[in-house]
Structure 1
């Protein structure tokens, strides 16, 4: 494998009307998007669209792509007097649950999973990092899974949902956890064990197909990548590119440590720590992945950067990440900025304005 592994990002967005309420015209916007240099997709709800970057080698290149694609997609929405919202949950209350996109697969999901599929519209940011093979990907997942709560605290961007302050920084994480195939990945002894657990979940009906492997880290079914699905959609393109650079740094660092056993963090402890990260975001603390001590989230992020400093230096992303995280420390993550926007006038429409892409 090359020293600098390639990576990419998939971002899900909400589509809203000029008042900030969900619009069901997502498929129309997707069909109108000209795709010479990127891709967009329909999602489970008609009020969502997904944007996928091309394969990139550096954080700066990825930032340029995401900035360009976000602007183009927002422009297609604006032609229809709609807005693209970089929020992981819809801030405003809606009269009815959003309609599902009418494809055979999504119809089947709606029928099989009922209100789990029909309520709780959420948008995430998924990072793909190239790996040499699937067996190595499973071993990397074992090593990096304890850092998932830190990534969630950094990227939390969904404090409001359906007209209410949820008292969580990432309400998306709580809603998404209702899916029976979601949550932190187990520790796997081998690729065969990974596949046997997937087969058992398919047999149980907890998943209808392999596209519903919803673990926070999973092997991609379409690309030679390890996919991280823990994060809320980022409010800004730079935050998304920073997340991707940090995730790649984690993967490359883990690859140099595969001869050692992975950190012994039990699944129930990791799930509890993810709940705390979803609630508190950067305003709280979490268990340190290596020491087990309760540590303020900002300190954990600093220690994470130190842990992957060598990998970030090797990819050329160190300065980008350090500068971006300094900006987040000064201005807050998405959840903190949303609450600050609401506090000014106690109007959720101000939050919608903050998150609308242009």
Structure 2
């Protein structure tokens, strides 16, 4: 199948989760309900999450970067303005830098209470916030094959989006400590390969019936089929510091899905990624971000992060060029190379003499940037 005959305007969407932090102490604050009630637009665009110190939003179905960026930028600005009235920051970070030792307040909904009961102590400090990218697929059978194809790139995608280096007021030593905390969920990491959607659904039903998850929507695999939409959902990215980074990352994911579908139809499947190596590679990428090497789950080779990112962009270049996103993604990659990624920016802000105020100012500025 040629690129021209495929749907190059394949629809996608971005779900973003944010932490609500006290503007003075930086600790999580249970303001989600108040902020959502405070403005009419918040009631339609924002949702509460597992903890009362988290909110989330989701773009409409998008076919262009402009639509996604306009929505996320506008939401962040509006949410930041409302939150400021309560002395609160809407922070694009995977974890709170301080206050994570405080047991989180579970949002008072039956489903969240059930999840909390299942997790027990493992859920007490799950302040994890992420960026989830949905990309449309023609069928669930093709969706499970796309999930297998994306495994090859999972480690480098974790490294590029790592944005949670600080925990309990200290540098965790990891670019994404959120990834490590996420391993305490009952079904973490990248999923194994499935031959058909029937096999995939059987596995999910076994997890649900066995009491591992309260329902299929609780599945915390790094990549999964959505239960609500005809999409593949990639869930491995931390919440992003800036809306532009979330959108640029989503464009990469869309292009990867498109390239995978083209290759599958043309019978050009890439090498098989071994799940154990994929998950080990994600762990290494969570530790080092893009400052070290990235493990290739197909070959098993450890490559410099810059080389792996260049290989990724080259792999999807036809899809990005045809959709008009190539220069935008190249600029994103250049930005990552220049500033070292959002985890390094957080560390830099926190390492100065005014460490906490400087970090909170970074969150504020990033959350109110124009498109």
Report the TM-score when normalising by structure 1.
0.96
The answer to whether the Cα contact below 8 Å between 1:146 and 1:270 also exists between their aligned partners in 2 is yes
| Aligned ranges 1:70-219 → 2 under 5 Å | 70-93=76-99, 96-219=102-225
Q: Which residue of structure 2 aligns with residue 13 of structure 1?
A: 18
Q: Runs ≥4 in structure 1, deviation > 4 angstroms?
A: none
Counterparts of 2:50 and 2:43 in 1: how far apart (Å)? 24
The answer to whether the Cα contact below 8 Å between 1:59 and 1:320 also exists between their aligned partners in 2 is no
Give the superposition deviation at 1:82: 1.2
The answer to whether the Cα contact below 8 Å between 1:92 and 1:348 also exists between their aligned partners in 2 is no
Give the superposition deviation at 1:257: 1.2
Counterparts of 1:74 and 1:37 in 2: how far apart (Å)? 15
The answer to whether the Cα contact below 8 Å between 2:72 and 2:243 also exists between their aligned partners in 1 is yes
Q: Which residue of structure 2 aligns with residue 3 of structure 1?
A: 8
Counterparts of 1:277 and 1:349 in 2: how far apart (Å)? 28
Give the superposition deviation at 1:21: 1.6
Give the superposition deviation at 1:316: 1.2
Q: Which residue of structure 1 aligns with residue 286 of structure 2?
A: 278
1:350 aligns with 2:358: yes
Q: How many residues are treated as equivalent by the alignment?
A: 358
Counterparts of 2:81 and 2:42 in 1: how far apart (Å)? 16
Among candidates 308, 319, 340, match of residue 327 of structure 2:
319
Cα distance per residue 1:151-184 (max 9 Å; x no partner): 1100000000121211000000111111112210
Cα distance per residue 1:304-346 (max 9 Å; x no partner): 0010000111211111111122122112211011111122226
Counterparts of 1:314 and 1:35 in 2: how far apart (Å)? 35
Counterparts of 1:256 and 1:94 in 2: how far apart (Å)? 44
Cα gap change, 1:214 to 1:95, in 2 (>3 Å): closer
Q: Which residue of structure 1 aligns with residue 296 of structure 2?
A: 288
Q: Which runs of 5+ in 2 are unaligned?
A: 1-5
Structure 1, 257-266 or 141-150: larger mean CA deviation = 257-266
Cα distance per residue 1:276-302 (max 9 Å; x no partner): 000000111112344432111122111
Counterparts of 1:287 and 1:261 in 2: how far apart (Å)? 20
Counterparts of 1:33 and 1:146 in 2: how far apart (Å)? 43
The answer to whether the Cα contact below 8 Å between 1:9 and 1:52 also exists between their aligned partners in 2 is yes
Report the TM-score when normalising by structure 2.
0.92
Counterparts of 1:224 and 1:35 in 2: how far apart (Å)? 27
Structure 1, 87-96 or 60-69: larger mean CA deviation = 87-96
The answer to whether the Cα contact below 8 Å between 1:263 and 1:289 also exists between their aligned partners in 2 is no
Q: Which runs of 5+ in 1 are unaligned?
A: none
The answer to whether the Cα contact below 8 Å between 2:100 and 2:125 also exists between their aligned partners in 1 is no
Give the superposition deviation at 1:37: 11
Q: Which residue of structure 1 aligns with residue 59 of structure 2?
A: 53
Q: Which residue of structure 2 aligns with residue 43 of structure 1?
A: 49
Counterparts of 1:152 and 1:94 in 2: how far apart (Å)? 22
SS in 2 for 1:9: strand
